[in-house]
Structures are given as C-alpha cells and as structure tokens.
Amino acid sequence: MRALALLALALLGLATPAAAARMVTDSAGRQVTLPDRIERVFAAGPPASVLVYVLAPEKLSGWSRAATQAERDYLAAPYGDLPELGRLTGRGDTANLEVVLTVKPDLILDFGSISDTYVSLAGRVQEQTGIPYLLIDGRFANTAEALRLTGEILGVPERGAELAAYAETTFAGVDAALARIPAEARPRVYLARGPDGLETGLRGSINAEIIERVGAINVADGGSDRQGIAQVQLEQVLAWNPEAIVTWDDRFYQSVRNDPAWAGIAAIQAGHIALSPGLPFGWIDRPPSLNRLIGLKWLAGLLYPDEAPMDLRAETREFYRLFYQVDLDDARLDRLLGPAGGTAP
C-alpha cells in the first residue's frame, strides 16, 4: 500500500505544470499569459534589446544586430558576445519565425510603438509560435513606467524601480531647467542623420522626440499626418535655417563645417553643431530606447549651459555604471565622448 501511495504521488507530480502561469496586461491593453518565471527573452527589435539588457542581461537571448568590437568595449561581459538574431519589427526586419523557434524563448518582447500595426504583428507571431508576445510603450515620456512594468515581468522589480527613479529624476531636472527658460529663448534644432545629414526624424517621431523633450523646436515638421524618418533636400534645411544641428554621424560632423553648400545655415555660421556619442548605443536614437536618458542630460547641458549645467564625465560614468553595468576608465571615457562637448546656443 505504501508503494502504491508513493507511485500515486509521483504520478501526481508529473501531472503538475513545471511553472505556474500568470496573466499580464501589456501597454497595448493585451492580456497575455506568461510563465511564472522568464528565463529567456527574444527582443523583437533594437529598443527592446536595450531594455532587456539594462534590466536583466542574463535573460537576453541575443542582439538584433551583433555588437561591433567598439560596442563590446562598453557592454558588460559576456553579453557583448551574444549572437545576432535579427529583428521582427522596425526598419529592415531580418528575423524569421524559424529563428525565434530555434531560440525557444519564454517571451518575445517589443519596446516602441503600440499602434495597430504592431498589435497585429504581436498577435500573429504569438499565434503562429505559441510564444507569449508583449508590447511595451516606448515613448520617451513612458520610460519610467516601462522600466517598472518590464522589471515586474522579468522578475527584477527592484532593478526596474531603481532605473525608473533615475529616469524620473532626469526628467524632473530638465523640467526645472526649462521652467527658467522662456519659450522664445529655446533653439530651433535640426537632427542630421547619415553621412550627408539629409535624413532626419520628423517632429513627433520617436526618433526625434528627445529634441522636443528637451524643450527645443524640431524644425523638421512633416505635418500632423506624417511622422517617422524622412529624406529631405538641402534646400529644405536651408529654408528651415536651424540655430543648432545635432548629429550622430562622425562623417557628416567632420565634413559639414567646411561644406559651402551648408555654409549659409545659421547653425553652421555660429559653429553650433554637436556630435552625440554613440557607444554602445546612440545618445539621441539608434535605437530610440533607454540610452536616450543620458542623451537628454547631455543635450540639456549643451543647449542651456547656464540653466542645466552638468559634469559630463561624472554623469556619463554614473549612467554607464547604473544602466550598462560598466565602469568606464579614462581611456574609454575619452574615446566615447570625443568632441561630444560641441557648442550650441
């Protein structure tokens, strides 16, 4: 009888699920059933890769694009060596469902737009793979909430709360500075992307919203019905005549100051062009994720040096230690910042 009882208990144990399920509501209002513990996450695109990396790097199954050697120098070991898996969302999606199934993640996570297009994609991929797929609102204003929500989902709520507090403090500091700056004193800024500087983020787009968050005016206005990335003509930039230009492309930064075609623009005449750092992720976008927090501090200090002064080296060291879990020595810090001090109105 005792043997039969033990056998019954063993069979009962086999019938019990390995992990309890839980229901989570994502930023798009979708209710998704998740396993109780998330061990492996497939990031649907670069912004989600950054989000998972800063919260729980050991759960990130791979990068959308393999890190370069220069980028790996600013990532905690061994995560810079994670494989390239491609991307399910955004420009130039490269992953396919076979890759996702091979990785066998507990969760697919996207961080960015929660529009109908992305909701539809999430539902379709989840149905085809059987893997839960969550959408987290990636708008800059939602940063703190995204960190808390994702921290809870990944089982690291304390880490999520710590980083969310940093985001809230950063936004509050910028708001306090802006309260002292009249609207007419805020500069008109152009975001120059690419080697020719003629790709930009239109006003209202996730790629350029850091300009608006810092209180500046993004001159690239595509109208209320047009947002996102756009190719523009130099004649249009000349007509906008920005007071400051921000770029992340060193090729453009090095060439434009001596380019007669750009010489008539107010920003060039005043020398108000700034090159943002870009390792391991860009400070303006590339991708538009948590990396923008240090970019916001840098841009505020650049545009409003009297109202938002900052010790760039100290702030950078703190951010990289807290978010990327990397302690920067002087050599790496010098290489990262380069001419990032720039000058702007």
Same domain, 104 and 197: no
Q: How many domains does the chain have?
A: 2
The rounded distance, in Å, linking the Cα atoms of 339 and 43 is: 32
Question: Considering the domain boundaries, does residue 5 fall inside one?
Answer: no
Token duo for residue 338: 């380069």
Same domain, 144 and 217: no
Same domain, 107 and 248: no
Q: Which residues contact 308 (CB under 8 A, 6 or more apart)?
A: 173, 174, 177, 297, 300, 301
Same domain, 73 and 190: no
DSSP string, 188-256: EEEEEBSTTS-EEEPTT-TTTHHHHHTT-EES----TT--SEEE--HHHHHHH--SEEEES-HHHHHHH
Same domain, 191 and 331: yes
Same domain, 166 and 188: no
Token duo for residue 55: 């919260």
Same domain, 217 and 159: no
Question: Considering the domain boundaries, does residue 175 fall inside one?
Answer: no
Residue 165 is predicted with a pLDDT of 98
Same domain, 190 and 327: yes
Percentage of the chain beyond pLDDT 90 is: 83
pLDDT 10s digits, 11-43? 333 333 445 689 999 999 999 999 999 999 999
The rounded distance, in Å, linking the Cα atoms of 219 and 242 is: 7
Alpha carbon 343 to chain centroid distance? Answer: 25
Residue 344 is predicted with a pLDDT of 46
- By residue range, what is the domain housing residue 131? 18-170
Question: Considering the domain boundaries, does residue 236 fall inside one?
Answer: yes
CATH number at residue 312: 3.40.50.1980
Segments of the chain with pLDDT less than 50: 1-18, 341-345
Same domain, 166 and 193: no
Same domain, 163 and 202: no
The last residue of a domain, from among 128, 144, 170: 170
Same domain, 198 and 147: no
Question: Considering the domain boundaries, does residue 13 fall inside one?
Answer: no
Question: Considering the domain boundaries, does residue 160 fall inside one?
Answer: yes
Question: Considering the domain boundaries, does residue 120 fall inside one?
Answer: yes
Residue 224 is predicted with a pLDDT of 61
Residue 137 is predicted with a pLDDT of 97
Question: Considering the domain boundaries, does residue 301 fall inside one?
Answer: yes
Question: Considering the domain boundaries, does residue 24 fall inside one?
Answer: yes
The last residue of a domain, from among 170, 200, 217: 170
Residue 339 is predicted with a pLDDT of 72
Residue 5 is predicted with a pLDDT of 37
The last residue of a domain, from among 148, 170, 192: 170
Residue 340 is predicted with a pLDDT of 59
Same domain, 161 and 219: no
Token duo for residue 103: 């990785």
